[in-house]
Structure 1
Amino acid sequence: MELGDAATWAAALIATGAAVWSWRSATAANRSAVADEQMLHHQRTPQFTALVEDMNGDSTGHGGTPRLMLQLVSPQAVDSVEVELVTPETVFPPSQNGVEPGAPRRIAVRTDGAGTPVPMAVGQEARWRIAFPAVDAGPKAIPPVDVVQLVVHAAKGKARWDVLVKAPVEARQKYQGASEQFKKLNRYLTGKQ
Structure 2
Amino acid sequence: MNWGDAATWVSASVAVVAALVAVAAWRAAVRAAKAAERSAAVDEQTLHSHRTPAFTAMIEEVNGGGWHRLALRLDGPADLDEVVVEPLGGKVAFTRDQYGVEVSEEAQPRRAWVYSPDGARSRLRLGDTAKWRIAPVGRYVEEDEISLRIEGKAAGSAWQVLVSVEVPKSMKEPPRFYSF
TM-score between the two structures when normalised by the length of structure 2: 0.83
d(CA) in 1 for partners of 2:93, 2:145 = 14
Higher strand share: 2
More RCO (CA 8 Å, sep 6+): 1
Task: State the partner residue of 1:129.
Answer: 133
1:169 and 2:171 matched: no
What is the total number of aligned residue pairs between the two structures? 164
1:87, CA displacement in angstroms? 2.3
Unaligned 5+ segments in structure 2 are: 4-8, 174-180
Letter in 2 for 1:32: S
What is the RMSD of the two structures over their aligned residues, measured on CA atoms? 2.0
Residues 151-173 of structure 1 show CA distances to partners (whole Å, capped at 9, x for unaligned) of: 11111120111111111112269
Structure 1 unaligned segments of length 5 or more: list them. 58-62, 136-141, 176-193
- String of CA shifts for 1:122-169, please: whole Å, max 9, x gaps: 11101111121222xxxxxx4322112111111112011111111111
Q: Distance in 1 between matches of 2:168 and 2:135?
A: 14
Rg larger in structure = 2
The runs of at least 4 aligned residues of structure 1 exceeding 4 Å deviation read 172-175
Matches of 1:29 and 1:149, distance apart in 2: 39
> Aligned match of 1:42 in 24, 29, 49?
49
Corresponding residue number in structure 1 for 2:82: 80
Give CA-to-partner distance per residue, 1:8-28, whole Å, 9 cap, x none. Answer: 211111011101111111111
Q: Greater helix percent: which structure?
A: 1
Give SS of 2:136's match.
Answer: coil
| Matched ranges for 1:1-193 at <5 A | 2-57=9-64, 63-101=65-103, 104-135=108-139, 142-171=140-169
Amino acid at match of 2:167: V
